[in-house]
Structure 1
Amino acid sequence: MSALDGLYQEVILDHSKRPIGKGELTETEAALTATHHEFNPSCGDEIDLSIAVDPETGRIRQVAWEGQGCSISMASASILAQLVRDDELTVDEARVRIGAFREMIQARGAVEPDEELLGDAVALQGVSKFVMRVKCAMLGWVALEADLAQVEARR
């Protein structure tokens, strides 16, 4: 295992043990909110991901999630929540990140991910080599995408 692979593995384990954003949505006052449930029938992983969006700026004020599943799906949701929080993403910026993550995770290692755009999510690039795990890594991202569509429909 290379040093980089070891670092990536450490990031995934850290996020699965100490998840960011896990819990209930608290920043709902004067916000557009949405919640979406995703389930992976092939392994049983599931997540409920909620967002609160400022209706004036389109900034995502909070991402919160509850779920159960493998360390990959839980770490991916945590990394996603941290990315949205730390970069104070707008709805449009979040869509760009989702697209970049989807491209990376479905490319089977053929695409060099943009670390500046994806942050710690690049640690999940190795998952793309394991087809059965791609859905696990995508679970939270797909839920966020559905939440964004709900919020956009009401804006």
Structure 2
Amino acid sequence: MYRRILVPVSGLAGDRRAIDLAAAICSSGETWLTLVYVVEVPQRYALDSELPDQIEQGTSVLEAAASYAQKVARGRWKRITTELLQARVAAAAIVDEAIERAADAIIMATTSRWHLGVLTQGETLPYILDNAPCDVVVIRVASESETRT
């Protein structure tokens, strides 16, 4: 049973799927849920630069995700916390946060896309799978072209 779950959010539809999965996995009110949004800071800026538009977007995404988590869990969470991080690379920040919070699991959503003729999930997922100090549970969200009506 997971007692500390970290869910990276980005403002996409997959966020709700990851939160739903986290809620389904947790059966008691003893689980701490941490929702994380990472603002990736370009190399041309200092890491602690003020990026008001990105910070505003991240805050909005975290508020929506926390509200959704509260609705779907119905008492499953002991506590919901949100964390807005600034980092050069989102994946490293997510792993560092999992270490800092002693997470038992990272639950995240991903999508597949074609890049240079290869089907990929991007750079974040492989890094987290290789470096996370805890279980990683991934849900691949089907693209609209893959869903059947």
Write 1 or 2 for the structure with the bigger share of strand. Answer: 2
- TM-score, with structure 2 as normaliser: 0.25
- TM-score, with structure 1 as normaliser: 0.25
